[in-house]
């Protein structure tokens, strides 16, 4: 899970041409809520399912982890360390894969599946899920909308380029989710109160004894942001402003026709 700024609320400062992040709420990445909902549905069908939610980021991410606990998760871990700051997707996925191994050791079992959102709405890269799969040597299914599990085999409905398709994969595996047809559930008051009291363990670099810190953070990242800028749309618009909008429409149709656009 990733905590992200609600990008629909982001505005550009018209003077400085920079992002105004102040007052923009932080939310659980919407695609991650689809992953959580799919996990919750597996737990609905089989109450022995245990859902652990993991996020990397600063202390403020605890709010988002608590939200996931309130919705459906049984346990939450925060992966946080200054040494992890500035990581690109490859470094992030490396740290997360190390943390997943550590959590397995702490919990005393191995995960059957790792669910992720297809992408985060701030970075939009869709890279961390498949990269975790590669680090852990697991098969992956991306763009999933829902799934069913029978024993060790899993049938995933995937949003393909043209059609939806059913993909078979064995557990353990990594699955990344896009928007399903069903709504995600809201937390109950009871779960909310329980989540507020929940203790969330932090995992830092010292807890990950096997981690190679040269592969973490800014220095461990093969890609770097060279510059950022605000996009400007440089277009010349022709407005049709005849007596009536119907006349404007006729004129527009004529122009499009003359230009062989229609």
- Total interface residues for another protein by CB under 8 A: 79
**The one among 41, 43, 101, 134 contacting another protein by CB under 8 A:** 134
| Footprint on residues 51-110 left by another protein (CB under 8 A) | 88-90, 93
Crossing angle (nearest 10°) for helices 61-71 and 189-197:
140
> Which CB, 157 or 203, lies closer to another protein?
157
> Which CB, 84 or 143, lies closer to another protein?
143
Instruction: List 156's β-bridge partners, or say none.
Output: 147, 167
DSSP for residue 172? S
Closest CA to 93 of 131, 46, 63, 123: 131
For residue 15, state whether it binds another protein (rule: CB under 8 A): no
CA 216, 221, 227, 228 torsion-angle sign: negative
For residue 168, state whether it binds another protein (rule: CB under 8 A): yes
| Footprint on residues 206-235 left by another protein (CB under 8 A) | 221-231, 233, 235
Which H helix or E strand runs over 69? helix 61-71
Which H helix or E strand runs over 186? none
**CA 3 to chain centroid:** 8
Task: Give me the least distance between CB of 190 and another protein, in Å please.
Answer: 29
Task: Give me the least distance between CB of 202 and another protein, in Å please.
Answer: 26
What is the phi-psi region of residue 23: left when phi exceeds 0, alpha when psi lies from -120 to 50, beta otherwise?
Answer: left
Helix, strand, or coil (residue 203): strand
**The one among 26, 86, 123, 194 contacting another protein by CB under 8 A:** 123
Task: Give me the least distance between CB of 129 and another protein, in Å please.
Answer: 8
Task: Give me the least distance between CB of 205 and another protein, in Å please.
Answer: 20
**The one among 163, 190, 206, 209 contacting another protein by CB under 8 A:** 163
**The one among 170, 193, 196, 201 contacting another protein by CB under 8 A:** 170
**The one among 19, 40, 106, 184 contacting another protein by CB under 8 A:** 19
Residue 121 and residue 7: Cα distance in Å, rounded?
7
């Amino acid at each position: 899970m990733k905590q992200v700024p609600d990008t629909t609320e982001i505005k550009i400062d018209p003077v400085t041409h920079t992002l105004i992040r102040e007052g923009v709420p932080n939310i659980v990445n919407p695609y991650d809520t689809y992953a959580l909902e799919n996990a919750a549905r597996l737990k609905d069908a089989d109450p022995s399912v245990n859902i652990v939610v993991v996020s990397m980021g600063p202390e403020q991410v605890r709010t988002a982890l608590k939200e996931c606990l309130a919705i459906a998760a049984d346990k939450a871990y925060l992966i946080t360390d200054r040494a992890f700051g500035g990581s690109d997707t490859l470094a992030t996925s490396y740290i997360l894969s190390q943390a997943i191994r550590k959590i397995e050791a702490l919990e005393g079992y191995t995960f059957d599946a790792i669910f992720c959102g297809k992408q985060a709405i701030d970075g939009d890269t869709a890279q961390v899920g498949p990269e975790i799969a590669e680090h852990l040597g697991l098969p992956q299914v991306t763009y999933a909308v829902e799934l069913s599990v029978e024993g060790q085999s899993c049938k995933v409905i995937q949003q393909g380029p043209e059609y939806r398709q059913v993909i078979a994969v064995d557990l353990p595996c990594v699955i990344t989710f896009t928007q399903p047809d069903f709504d995600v559930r809201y937390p109950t008051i009871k779960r909310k109160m329980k989540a507020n009291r929940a203790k969330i363990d932090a995992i830092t670099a010292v807890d990950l004894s096997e981690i190679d810190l040269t592969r973490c953070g800014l220095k461990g990242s093969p890609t770097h942001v060279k510059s950022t800028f605000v996009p400007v749309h440089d277009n010349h618009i022709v407005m049709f402003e005849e007596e009536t909008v119907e006349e404007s429409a006729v004129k527009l149709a004529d122009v499009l026709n003359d230009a062989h656009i229609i």
